[in-house]
Structure 1
Amino acid sequence: MLDTTDAALVRELQRDGRVSYQRLSELLGISREAARARVQRLLQHGEVRIVGIVPPAVAGIEAVAHVSLDVSGPSGPVAAVAAGRRATSFVSCTAGPHGVIAEVRVADAAALEREFAALRAAPGVRGLEVFRCAELVRDAYSPEVAGVRPGPPPVLDEADRRLLGLLQLDGRASFAALAERIGLSQPATRARVLRLLEVGAVHVTGLVESRALGVREAAGVGLGVLGPVRAVAEAAAALPGVNYVATGYGRFDVVCGLDAPDRSALLTGLEAVRGLPGVGRSESWFHLGIVKESYTYDLPIR
């Protein structure tokens, strides 16, 4: 578990992964050297990773689906196959109606169908149940506020794509290091990075190892909605502990992800989601083991 100062530091890194040590010093009331030492310790121990999160639309991801896999026998081997697919961003072995849950993110509907075919062909899979996402209202690690619809993705050139790819790996990479990798001057590189941040092409944030935050329980819930779907999705996104909300079509109208420090808090969160006005039915699943969670994308140079 993080101490009070580390927890406050992590919150600032989640807001802005490139925040300066001087600014952290001012915000936390500690010396610049102490702020630097604490950040380095968190990074070295693997409790925090600073990465650039690129929105799916910016990366050319237009098709997202939440897939429930009906498994015959142990779920681990099926989860391993799903996790090995480059298109999966999240894979979990679950307690619930299905043995494995996966999220697939690809460029278009044709690519989505290819992923479904590959998952159906995996040994031990008896069938799939698909929730096709229409809109990600709250994405994991997204800085967007519920209810604010993003504009069209910005136009990127080759240097922008190279920068985004590097920031996905190391969100705190210096302007000098980035400039050397992409072959531009340091001032030009700095201007590009600041522009990419300003237009929302990337959000640099701190990804925190769950147990360092005391998060030990995670679940998902699918909702059938009576009335306007977007209103329910926005209300769910505003609830404590809800880290993912998508609207779509299939068996559910809305799918949510939740996490909590213990089983009691997780139940409280689930009850809050189930009790939202407009929810007609719900189905939940408990994540016994998260096998894969990755929100980085290939950004090919044209």
Structure 2
Amino acid sequence: MEQLDDLDRQIVAALQVNGRASWTDIAGVVGTSVTTVARRAQQLLADGIVRITTLTRLQQGGDGDLFLVRVSCAAGQQLATAAALADRQDVRFLAVLTGEHDLIVEVQIPNGAGLHALLVEELQSIPWVRDSVADLVLHTYKIGQDWSRQLLGSASVLSEPRTLHLCEDSHLDELDGRIVALLHENGRASFQSLAKQLGVNESTVRRRCEALFRQGCVETVTLVPAAALGYEAEVLLFVSVEPSKLEAVAARLSEHRGVRFVAALLGQYSLVCEVIMPTTADLYRFVTGSLGRIDGVRSWQANVEALTVKRGFVVVPWAQAALAKARNTAAGSTD
């Protein structure tokens, strides 16, 4: 993937702080004109390098159970399997991995729904799936969106989205739900365009949106491939921890900006940790100087993320071409 220049990287990093920040505010942070920021950012969005979406508490894992499923595929069928899984509405995160397993799939199972249908009937019905291992996510300690913030000198002028609070789905009425659905497709949609699509007054949409963001019912997330920002290492670490020190280890890992995701698992490993580092040398320093020195860490297994396919229930645009090719190849083989 072609890397972005320094200015584009700074614009993307600003959007990761706040995906709905005005071009004027971003221009002030990165030190260029509003026209330049608007032109470059809109080009990044049009080219599918950046995708801005909005997630509710449910989409961040607030209700139901989350399972991390590691999947092994038939040789050469990783992308075909990923394409079949990407279409599922209950898949929040999906990536192609190196290592013992070929795919990692984060699935949200609603309260009261059975896991058997997914793991035994549906997953195994995909012809290229050879086996799978499912771990229950017991607790999520961190979901970080600002791992690229070090590319910015300062972003204090940008209003960061509030942490999601524990509201129930019933907190959102029918109009709120329609607004959120449109923002999920385009996290930067203007109040005017939302009002036009919904057939309501712009002032109503503005008031509803401001309340949703202010109260923490929704959060804007900016998706971008790490490689485009010059980051070489994107890795999932499955960590074995002494049970009595689980909370302390998770807290230490969560302190690192390069750690995007930390969660406790019920399975072979105690924690899963997603790490993004600028270089392989930085990753080496992290595992030897940070992870390896945390009291309570016993061992870990590492998997490089070769391709992110889905994040936040969104199929990322930079994976679309590979998925389309895999679907066409699979369709041709069945003719």
Q: Normalized against structure 1, the TM-score is what?
A: 0.85
Match of 2:240 among 205, 219, 224: 224
Q: How many residues align?
A: 294
Q: Distance in 1 between matches of 2:4 and 2:167?
A: 38
1:21-36 alignment runs, 5 A limit: 21-36=23-38
Q: Distance in 2 between matches of 1:281 and 1:41?
A: 44
Match of 2:193, SS?
A: helix
Match of 1:93 among 87, 91, 96: 96
Q: 1:262-282, CA deviations, whole angstroms, 9 ceiling, x for partnerless residues?
A: 433333333333432221222
Counterpart of 1:151 in structure 2 is 166
Match of 1:134, SS?
A: strand
Match of 2:300, SS?
A: strand
Counterpart of 1:209 in structure 2 is 225
Counterpart of 2:193 in structure 1 is 177
Counterpart of 1:164 in structure 2 is 180
Shift, 1:170, TM fit: 0.9
Match of 2:126 among 122, 125, 128: 122
Task: Point out where structure 1 has 5 or more consecutive residues left out of the alignment.
Answer: 298-302
Corresponding letter in the other structure for 1:257: E
Greater shift, 168-177 or 36-45, is seen at 36-45
Q: 1:116-171, CA deviations, whole angstroms, 9 ceiling, x for partnerless residues?
A: 121133334343222100122222638789xx894344611011111111111111
Counterpart of 2:303 in structure 1 is 285
Q: 1:75-94, CA deviations, whole angstroms, 9 ceiling, x for partnerless residues?
A: 51433333343322223332
CA contact under 8 A between 1:54 and 1:296: conserved in structure 2? no
Match of 1:189, SS?
A: helix
Corresponding letter in the other structure for 1:96: G
CA pair 129-58 structure 1, distance change in 2 beyond 3 A: closer
Q: Distance in 2 between matches of 1:274 and 1:105?
A: 31
CA pair 24-141 structure 1, distance change in 2 beyond 3 A: closer
Higher helix share: 2
Counterpart of 1:110 in structure 2 is 113
Counterpart of 2:262 in structure 1 is 245
CA pair 41-92 structure 1, distance change in 2 beyond 3 A: closer
CA pair 28-230 structure 1, distance change in 2 beyond 3 A: same
Q: Distance in 2 between matches of 1:84 and 1:151?
A: 28
Shift, 1:36, TM fit: 1.8
1:191-210 alignment runs, 5 A limit: 191-210=207-226
Amino-acid identity (%): 26
Task: Point out where structure 2 has 5 or more consecutive residues left out of the alignment.
Answer: 147-159, 315-335
Q: Distance in 1 between matches of 2:113 and 2:65?
A: 9
Q: Distance in 1 between matches of 2:46 and 2:269?
A: 41
Is 2:142 aligned against 1:138? yes
Shift, 1:109, TM fit: 5.4
Q: Distance in 2 between matches of 1:79 and 1:21?
A: 36
CA pair 116-60 structure 1, distance change in 2 beyond 3 A: same
CA pair 152-252 structure 1, distance change in 2 beyond 3 A: farther
Q: Normalized against structure 2, the TM-score is what?
A: 0.77
Greater shift, 253-262 or 1-10, is seen at 1-10
CA contact under 8 A between 2:67 and 2:135: conserved in structure 1? yes
Q: Distance in 2 between matches of 1:26 and 1:100?
A: 41
